[in-house]
Structure 1
Amino acid sequence: MLLETLNDRSRDIFRHIVDAYLTTGDPVGSRTLSKILTNPLSPASIRNVMADLEDSGLIYSPHTSAGRIPTELGLRMFVDGLLEVGNLSEDERTNIRIKCHEKGSRLEEILPQATSLLSGLSQCASIVMAPKYERPLKHIEFVHLGPGRALVVLVSEGDDVENRIIEVPHGLTPSALTQAGNYLNARMVGRTFAEAQKIIQQELQQQKAELDKLTQQVVEQGLAVRAGKEGGLSDTLIVRGRSNLLDNVEAREDLERIRTLFDDLETKNDLISLLDLAKNAEGVRIFIGSENKLFSLSGSSVIASPYMDADNNILGVIGVIGPTRLNYARIIPIVDYTAKVIGNIL
């Protein structure tokens, strides 16, 4: 709505200020603008327009110079209303498809390759949120710990072991625990937990399981050992290309900002929560600066897009993280196309 209040002159000056900032990072003054505007204006007229833009919260002066750069609000308005997103060439599209296919066609092979590709193309850090790769189960066992308590031992292929303590009915016999373990092993071994859980719950609902009431309660408790996990926190996070963020650092304040961003990238749960927001987007989602709490101090932007399987189920999110002075016009179509390629492969 703020964009609609600007006349053509104000839009033209605002666009040039943002373009110059995204290209060089330097503040732009009225004399510079007077030389590059399509419809020439005097420096005094330009200063009046810049003052109005500053009053609107779209630009500001980073120090005492006469130059201006866009605020986060200004960048958001520019990206939403004035940005002309570029098109990828056929060579670029082909390169992305080939690179994503290079290591195989399984999700765990595609995603690290796609993430490295994005960091190289964008010269920023790239990030992907992937569903956790769950191995099939080898064994499940219940161990009696005392009245009302038992230990559930889950062994996955690759010999990953997960232990959980559960509550069981008082007076439960060791033989009932053994029966529950045998029942689950017969249906779980060779399947992932999610696959087995669906089969067993159907049996229990249809009363096909030949279990007494107490043993059935143990089985249900065993199935619940993972139900309490929040879906987002079980996701796998891959970050590539952190070193790219240091390539164009010139000022000390820029270095401090990048250090803060590095700290933010280590905050796994918060980062996954941020990417969860992009899961619901239709196409590319853009977060600029303080629009997300995680990167409010480092002044960073995130460009992310969900990727889907053959049934259009959203599996995860892939994207780019960098300073707010990103080449949005180039990076947005790269992220968007890479997400589509991943979906097509799957």
Structure 2
Amino acid sequence: MTGVADINTAAAVPGTGGVGAWIRYGWPISAEQIDFAAEHYRAAILQPWELESAAELKRRRPDMTVLCYKCLSSTRSYEPGPLYSSGVSYSEAPDDWFAQRLNGGRIQWARYEGHWQMTVWSPEYRNRWVRNVVAELTDSPFDGVMADNDVFDDYYGLDLPIRDARSMTDFRDGVGELVHTAGRALNDVGKILVPNIAESRREPGRWARHAAYGGGFEEVWLGFSPVDLFDPETTESQLPQADGPGLSILRVPTDGNDEHPNFEYGLAAFWIFGAGRGAYSATGHDDYSRTQHVAQLDWDLGEPLDEPVRRGHTWWREFTHGWAAVNFNSDRRRRRRVRVPRGMVDVQGDPVGPRLVLHPRRGVVLRRG
């Protein structure tokens, strides 16, 4: 039987298709998208019913980590089955597994019609979730599960207190128990668990504990939205996530345009603090039906030649095949001039150096010419 350490190591091994993560649990997948993904991505997150797509990606790219989406915290009443994006289907769950308001009404998530909050503090709910998901994944082409909604705060209009839960601590504790139980059970059948770990920076050790079963997914790395990026101190509190454990999947928010400057901003930070391990994506909000991509996503900068170097909130790092720099400052006046190593070229192949000016909340990724 494969051990946890072996699974985590295998999940973090760089593949041949760049460092991109394909976050793809929206509309049905086309053959053209599979072709593109097999060439350009290191990891993929698909809906659990996309079995043919998962099998095809694994056939073409055995090194790619392909994960199945499952929600930890809700069930969806609109899904026909027989496979579901939740661990417990809407029709399967007894009434007391649905979270209820003080007046007895079930709780539908704000802004997400048909998503119903479950009693994550209930051992019966958690045990069924684990049993169902492990049975579904055991002989599946998927390498494991991306477990969504490992929540920290109230994002969905729960409006506490509700029946049997007076604060978000009840939710955090329940979901945490589910992560640990599911992670151990999936590892036992040779699969990994990669939770979408919300706001781990607010609780010391949360990322490492929840990512211990194969990795972690940070859906709001460096900012909440393309215009609501974090201040330097908050940004820097997230940076250890790039270095594991296991497979770190980091997604930076854009407006949906791949030319948005946040794409390269986050990619530079990904390389500086993760040294090219893990997988990276930049998307618009809930924009998970496309193949987001920039040319730099395919670059292999090689091995780091030193540790990350900093001057204030500006950081850079040199690699055997490239160089990356990032300016986390939010004040528009805090432009920084940085020295560029010799022989670097930009995405157009034009030489760069010996210095460049990096504007606040901007990053740059260069390769050796």
Q: Higher RCO, 1 or 2 (CA under 8 Å, sep at least 6)?
A: 1
Structure 1 or 2: more helix by fraction: 1
TM range (shorter): under 0.3
Query: Radius of gyration: which is bigger?
Result: 1
**TM norm structure 1:** 0.27
Between structures 1 and 2, the one with greater strand share: 2
